[in-house]
A and B are shown apart, each in its own frame.
Chain A
């Protein structure tokens, strides 16, 4: 049950676009369309931003989008805003012999 790999930090200026990568294996990210992304502001609970690789829940801005290629999933935030500054975590469910969820280590997004 190894963690997914995310960059520790990314940054961008207001209005720009950034992409956060999330690398797993063929047993999790690459094997299923079960990737989800969560935003967490300091001291707050995580908030669902993307599920099933690229679907946005109701109420989440269309500036947030998700994709996947092979064993790597990506979260793209366009038109960066100050309130996007937060930690972002990817997650993948795997329905192997013992189903479980694995998370990435988290990426700190700084809006310059």
Chain B
């Protein structure tokens, strides 16, 4: 069965850095596009970033562009999110999600359980 397990969250000071990881299993990781989506405490979902199966195509939300870097290692079945220059407003649970394409467009068919990132002094 499809499993996505995030790790790497924690408490970091404003301006600091953190690297999140997502270990995938139960499917051929290299065949799928992947995304990071976050949810601030008590708030709604916010899409963060997307990476194609090969890693050649990458998109970011305006709110993280220039500060976050998404990457993947298909040999290790892993997705990453390098987060630099962190701000208080980056505090959230970060989910990795598998991207699936339907007849019309992409959607997120499996999600991990999330990892909490807290940015605070």
Contacts from A to B (Cβ < 8 Å): 1, 3, 32-34, 36, 38, 44-48, 51-53, 55, 57, 89, 91, 93, 95, 98-106
B113 to chain A, nearest CB (A): 5
A21 to chain B, nearest CB (A): 15
Which A residue sits closest to B57, measured CB to CB?
A99
Knowing A45-B112, A45-B114, A52-B105 are in contact, say whether A3-B59 is a contact too (CB < 8 A).
no
Which residues on the B side are within 8 Å of A106 (C-beta)? 44-45
Contact A100 B61 (CB under 8 A): yes
Which A residue sits closest to B35, measured CB to CB?
A101
A74 to chain B, nearest CB (A): 17
Knowing A1-B61, A45-B112, A46-B111 are in contact, say whether A52-B47 is a contact too (CB < 8 A).
no
Question: What are 30 A-B contacts defined by CB distance under 8 Å?
Answer: A1-B61, A1-B62, A32-B104, A33-B104, A33-B105, A34-B104, A34-B105, A36-B107, A45-B112, A46-B45, A48-B107, A48-B108, A51-B102, A51-B109, A52-B102, A52-B103, A52-B104, A52-B105, A52-B107, A53-B104, A55-B103, A89-B45, A91-B45, A91-B107, A99-B59, A100-B59, A101-B35, A103-B44, A103-B46, A105-B44
B9 to chain A, nearest CB (A): 14
Which residues on the A side are within 8 Å of B50 (C-beta)? 99, 101
Contact B107 A51 (CB under 8 A): yes
Which A residue sits closest to B46, measured CB to CB?
A103
